[in-house]
Amino acid sequence: MPLELVVNVAISGVLTGLVYGLMALGLSVIFGVVRVVNFAHGEMMTIAMYAVVVLFAALGLDPLLLVIPIAAAFFGFGYVLQAGLINPFITRPEHSQFLLLVAIGLIMVNALLVIFGPDARNVQVDYQLESFAIGPILFDKVRVIAAGAALATSAALFAFFKLTLTGKAIRACADNHLGALVVGLNVKHLYALTFGVGAACVAVAGCMMVLLVDVTPVLGPSYTLLAFVIVIVGGLGSMPGALLGGVLIGMSESLAGLFIEPSAKSMFSFGLLILVLLFRPQGLMGRRA
Amino acid sequence: MTAPSKPRSPVRRRVIQAAAASAALTTLGFPAIVRAQSKRLKVGVLLPRSGYQGFIGQSCQKGADLAPGVIKQMLGVDVELMNADTETNVDVARTRAERLIQEGANVLVGAFDSGQTVAIAQVAEQRGTPLVINIAAAPQITEQGYKFVFRNFQTARDIVGNGLRLTGDLFHATNTVPRTAVFMHVNDTFGTAVSRGIAAAMPHMTQLPFKIVDTISYDPAARDLTVEVSKAKASNADFLMLVCRLNDAIALRREMVKQRWNPMGIISPGSPGMYEEQYFKTLGKFSEYSISNVPWYNPRAELTHVVEKAFQKQNPGEKFPFHGLNVGFTFEAIMIAADAFKRAGSTDPKTLADAIRQTNIPRKMMLGAPIKFNAKGQVEGIGSACVQNLKGLPTVVLPADAATAKPVFPAPYYKA
């Protein structure tokens, strides 16, 4: 097998993995603080993708320009969702939280079906099918941009959680819920902020993803599952783990597709998941409970 | 010198038009046209109107939607549609079929996809309700000894045979001799059946100048086809032979552009995807020159004109060539059921199934021999056409007697 082919596929796997990681980042942030697994995660990303499609069609704005306004809108949406609907479930059993978020996801899918129908939609920008070459290695321009967005978003999140007072307060809530209450932190507000930040991450991922795949209302559940696999592999609640998990899944799918059988490539991401669950149940970068 | 005639009144014009339409339909050869029926035939139409096959399911649905009006005119039979969405899901297809039968469907029609159709066929056979398949190619559907399952569509074997023959004709017509092909196919029931058909047929197709250097199967719902296209490109094959669905065909073509892979052409030996409207809309200029050798409608058939007219009335602004295949086979499936109902004069399932078995409809819409079922419930001799995307439309380029343009091969983007 030509080395050039292997390198091309491996690079593509890393770039795709970073996009996956960006998508999973929001899930990891939310779980890390609020301790709720957002089972409507993929569906929220689908809504962000539709927002791009609609605004692109109406205003002709490039999806890259839409990243900030859509992320801001999703921050507000996430805040309201957590403050209004999820906060009352924080102290309830996990199966109640699970059912609530699955129900939210189902409502989202069906609302999208009602509004947009089942047709696949997309945006078409000039650079969408472009690639550039460095020697024999081809780089997909959109994947490079999306990977860059993933790294930039991760850096911004790290800075927010490490350097700002609000970020530190959120981390305090995550570390010690009771202690945070005792020192007078408004925990419910901080949870809502966290969900907003997670939703904004999902929105950024949606803005990038719409350049790579067509969007349909039923796209969400498969991405929820993928994000879930990634954060389990990387470690639930770990932001670097989400990126690492994304890259590992992207790479394993690509290389398994190349060396073994393309149609069975998603099998390997689940194989990786089982291995991690067996030998490091807290995930590669997760903390043992 | 004659007196100037009075202008015709709208009423008179309508009467004349109705008479003309009636006369035209009479020439189609349907006996006892416009004889009222006292009972309705309830047709359960099962199609994947959502999910990743949603586009094609909706296209088929257009054929079902126009059927009651056209059939009422043609046969005088009242058809009531009971529509169900299979959601591109085998289990949903099975449960929806069950429910349609419970709700009183006399006959089922569907379901575009082989996997879903296999599930529906099992239900139809168990419940003793006739199923007329519009589109589904997996050979095993009519190899099970079913008594209530009928198919007016080519089997994968026929599709492959006709598709490969047309591929040879294409090379002959364009004086080209590609030596190698890479074969990519979806790994669903249909794709696997076609793949097996190609493996079985290739050794006997000695007139074909090429050999298949690599076979790559992929998931039709795959998020990303980068690896698949990288492997195909690395094969250095002269052309891509592709068995696809719609969404994956779009993703695959995009990936070919990104990876700067420009083979002599893309030829489907018989699958949907590349002649669909969405393929053109999404890919624009990159949709051009793709070739599909598929069962197709006869643009010169009288029934085609009737159906096309009804289609344009129900779907103003839509282009019939994008829907002709899906509309045609779905319409014909309902027409077969209605014709049998008319002859049987009963909705009793067994009587209806016996009447379907005796079907003989020579004047049809789709290319090929008259609609007659063999002992297995399969129509034989359905024809294919080589359809190339030219100037934004799927265009018949072969066989020559049905062609409206000349084939272009290799594609202009080809780089040797």
pTM over 0.80: no
The answer to whether B216 contacts A262, with C-beta atoms less than 8 Å apart, is yes
Interface test with B, best of A129, A134, A216, A261 (most B CBs within 10 A): A129
- What whole-number distance in Å separates Cα of residue A154 and Cα of residue B239? 43
Structure tokens at B216: 């790559």
- Which residues contact residue B31 at a Cβ distance below 8 angstroms, ignoring those fewer than 6 apart? none
Q: pLDDT by residue (tens digit) across A117-171?
A: 877 888 989 898 899 989 888 899 999 999 999 999 999 999 999 999 999 999 8
- What whole-number distance in Å separates Cα of residue A252 and Cα of residue A273? 11
Specify which residues B46 forms β-bridges with. Answer: B84, B110
B260 closest CB neighbour out of A138, A213, A263: A138
A113 closest CB neighbour out of B50, B228, B231: B50
Q: Which residue of B has its CA nearest to A223?
A: B223
Rounded to the nearest angstrom, the minimum Cα separation between B376 and chain A is 33
Rounded to the nearest angstrom, the minimum Cα separation between B134 and chain A is 21
Q: pLDDT by residue (tens digit) across A13-62?
A: 999 999 899 999 999 989 888 888 899 999 999 999 999 999 999 999 99
Q: pLDDT by residue (tens digit) across A173-201?
A: 888 888 888 988 999 999 999 999 999 99
Identify all chain B residues contacting A122, using CB atoms and an 8 Å cutoff. 282
The answer to whether B259 contacts A138, with C-beta atoms less than 8 Å apart, is yes
Helical axes B54-75 vs B320-344, angle rounded to 10°: 50
Q: pLDDT by residue (tens digit) across A202-239?
A: 999 999 999 988 898 889 998 999 999 999 999 887 88
Identify all chain A residues contacting B187, using CB atoms and an 8 Å cutoff. 263
Per the prediction, chain B carries an average pLDDT of 88
The answer to whether B227 contacts A254, with C-beta atoms less than 8 Å apart, is yes
**Residue B30, pLDDT above cutoff 80:** no
The answer to whether B230 contacts A216, with C-beta atoms less than 8 Å apart, is no
Among B251, B332, B334, B250, residue whose Cα is nearest residue B295: B332
- Interface contact B41, partner A, CB < 8 A: no
**Residue B406, pLDDT above cutoff 70:** yes
The answer to whether B224 contacts A129, with C-beta atoms less than 8 Å apart, is no
Which domains does chain B show, CATH number per domain?
12-155+299-382 (3.40.50.2300), 157-296+385-402 (3.40.50.2300)
Among A42, A14, A35, residue whose Cα is nearest residue A205: A42
CA B228 and chain centroid, separation: 27
- What whole-number distance in Å separates Cα of residue B340 and Cα of residue B279? 37
- Interface contact A109, partner B, CB < 8 A: no
* ipTM (interface predicted TM): 0.84
